[in-house]
Amino acid sequence: MKKYMLKIIIEKVSRSKKFQLPKYHSENSSGLDIVADINNPVKLQQNEIFLAPTGIKLKIPQGYEGQVRSRSGLALKHGVIVLNSPGTIDSDYRGEIKIILFNHGSIDFIINNKDRIAQMILMPVHKME
């Protein structure tokens, strides 16, 4: 079976010297791990929402969208989810990708720089008439 790769341009907008590009955790991962790009740790209290910067912009080709999803480990162990999962990144959006996180857990959760906070997959878009 032949693998087809679609080139997506990821642009760094972070000012952090410890910036990390998104990457696949393993060869068979379907989701690209997205990390927090923050200067200081953030305490996400119970029932609190935080808009987490990622330090990246994407150039997604027309006919595709990025879908941002919760990481199952964060959801299971800490109750931290992507609030609007799956969040959509449209092909014409050129701003910094930011992730809406929600702490649905029973205790505070600390987000550190470069923590894996979400995952993203690329999906084709089918228009309706």
**What's the pTM?**
0.89
6 contact partners, CB below 8 Å, separation of at least 6: 61, 64, 122
Confidence grade of residue 101 (pLDDT, cut at 50, 70, 90): very high
Q: How far apart are CA 27 and CA 125, in angstroms?
A: 25
- Which pLDDT score, from 0 to 100, does residue 100 have? 98
* Residue among 75, 80, 76 at smallest CA distance from 109: 80
- Which pLDDT score, from 0 to 100, does residue 3 have? 63
pLDDT digit string, tens, across residues 39-65: 999 999 999 999 999 999 999 999 999
